[in-house]
A = this chain, B = another copy of it.
Amino acid sequence: MPETRFKVDLTKKMDKQAVPGHNRWHPDIPAAFSVNPGESFRMECLDWTDGQIANNDDPSDIEHVDLDRVHVLSGPAHVNGVQPGDLLVVDILDVGAFQDHEWGFNGIFAKENGGGFLVDHFPNAQKSIWDFNGIYATSRHIPDVKFAGIIHPGLIGVAPSHELLAEWNRRETALVDEDPKRVPPLAELPNPESVVLGTLQGEEFNRVAKEGARTVPPRENGGNCDIKNLSRGSRIYFPVFVEGAKLSVGDLHFSQGDGEITFCGGIEMPGWIDLHVDVIKGGMDKYNILQNPVFQPGPMDPNYTEFLTFEGVSVDNTSGKQSYLDANIAYRNACLNAIDYLKTVGYTAEQAYMILGTAPIEGRVAGIVDIPNACCTVSIPTAIFNKDILPKKE
């Protein structure tokens, strides 16, 4: 096991840890530790909500979750000798749950507090608890489902430069200004509430707290991309924007479906991740990797090969309004079609929604040019059910 360079105590909030992590993106958050290219190390992580969700059957913690607190991240790690313009090469050697905390949660956020991809159909908070049995997950809240998790960090990224951070804040503020009162909001802007900034203090803390970008969206630095296939064995090439790269990680998922459609979102858990870092000097220009990470997926995902696939196109399913090649509507319809189907084989709509959020489902952009309809698909591995869910002639 590589040396643990970032430790957490599950009984404490992130700001009370011996070396606190952070929950905003900012180049001036101090490094929690430093490593050399070629080194492997372990980082421990709290769950993304900083321990707000309990292992019980009551979704009120989901309903009232403090979203200013998310995502609590471990790091940043300063990688010695790495400069802006380089590519930081990060291998995800392994990811796991803590041995005394082998459960996770999935939640549907309430419309008033976060929402989700199908928020208009599922406006109320819900929760499912998942138990880990080795490689498998099961939930007492969702019967006859068991699957091998595709374990991964929902969030991994490097620090932005000051210029990049300013650009994020500019463009996201402009978006919010289009409809500032929207519920849920169009974006989360810098907000000093519930901020954690490592060891920063005093004036510096106040300044960075006001400027720091929220960790919710994925951006040029990677961040909260929630890519389920960025799992064990993957190699990521990050563009580097600051000296030392300042790599942070968190939001570990035992499993997640493509899209993370319930928002909360995969099977969320605290845990550990083993990383190896290296550098390609001057790699950003050499490989034109300027604005988002590139990666090679790992070789250890579950080998599910039989699927039931649902299609959706760009027509609003309640109003009948036709949109132009809108992949969001198409994917939403594919998900709603899947939920409608799963209701005929014994699940509630909420259970079906949470299956799509947690199991290793595949969400694809099938056709994106056939005006005016995009076609998206969502594919459910049939082997995750302990019963035959296929359509039958009799």
Is there contact, CB below 8 Å, between A364 and B365?
yes
Q: Within the assembled complex, what's the spacing in Å between the Cα atoms of A274 and B134? A: 7
Which B residues touch A237, using CB under 8 A? 391
> Chain A, interface size: which category?
35 or more
Q: Which residues of B contact A293 (CB under 8 A)?
A: 311
- Nearest-neighbour CB distance to chain B for A170, whole angstroms, equals 8
In the bound complex, CA of A262 to CA of B369 (Å): 8
Q: Are B331 and A365 in contact (CB under 8 A)?
A: yes
| Closest residue of B by beta carbon distance from A182 | B324
**Which residue of chain B lies nearest to A171 when distances are taken between CB atoms in the complex?**
B322
Q: Report if A145 contacts B (CB, 8 A).
A: no
Q: Assess whether A268 is interfacial by the CB under 8 Å rule.
A: no
| Stretch of A6-14, A55-63, A92-100, A193-201 on the interface side | A92-100
Cβ–Cβ contact A368 & B313, under 8 A: no
Report the bound CA distance from A222 to B315 in whole Å: 14
Q: Measured between alpha carbons, how far is A108 from B296 in the docked complex, in Å?
A: 28
Q: Which residues of B contact A226 (CB under 8 A)?
A: 366-367, 369-370, 375
Q: Say how far A135's CB is from chain B's closest CB, in angstroms.
A: 5
Chain B contacts of A110 at CB under 8 A?
none
Number of copies: 4
CB pair A294–B310 under 8 Å, yes or no, is: yes
A228 in contact (CB, < 8 A): yes
Interface 1/0s, chain A 141-176, versus B by CB < 8 A? 000000010000000000000000001001110110
Known: A300-B302, A377-B227. A171 touches B321 (CB 8 A): yes
Say yes or no: A322 contacts B1, CB within 8 Å. Answer: no
List of B residues within 8 angstroms of A116 by Cβ: 369
Asked if A308 is at the interface of the complex by the 8 Å CB criterion, the answer is yes
Which of A19-27, A213-221, A241-249 interfaces with chain B? A213-221
* Residue in B174, B217, B280 whose beta carbon sits within 8 Å of that of A370 in the complex: B217
Contact of A233 among B134, B296, B366 (CB under 8 A): B134
Does A327 make an interface contact (CB < 8 A)? yes
**Is A318's beta carbon under 8 Å from chain B?**
no
A325 and B390 alpha carbons, distance in the complex (Å): 32
- Interface residue A122 (Cβ < 8 Å from any Cβ of B): no
Q: Are A218 and B365 in contact (CB under 8 A)?
A: no
25 A-B Cβ contacts within 8 A? A91-B133, A94-B134, A134-B233, A175-B322, A186-B324, A218-B367, A226-B366, A226-B367, A227-B309, A227-B364, A229-B309, A229-B364, A229-B379, A259-B366, A259-B369, A261-B369, A262-B369, A263-B369, A286-B344, A288-B344, A296-B307, A297-B379, A299-B302, A328-B374, A331-B368
Which residues of A approach B to under 8 Å, CB–CB? 1-2, 40, 87, 89, 91-94, 99-100, 102, 116-117, 133-136, 148, 167, 170-172, 174-175, 184-188, 216-220, 222, 224-229, 232-233, 237, 258-263, 265, 274, 276, 278, 280, 283, 286-313, 315, 317, 320-328, 331, 333-334, 337, 340-341, 343-344, 362-377, 379, 382-383, 388, 390-393
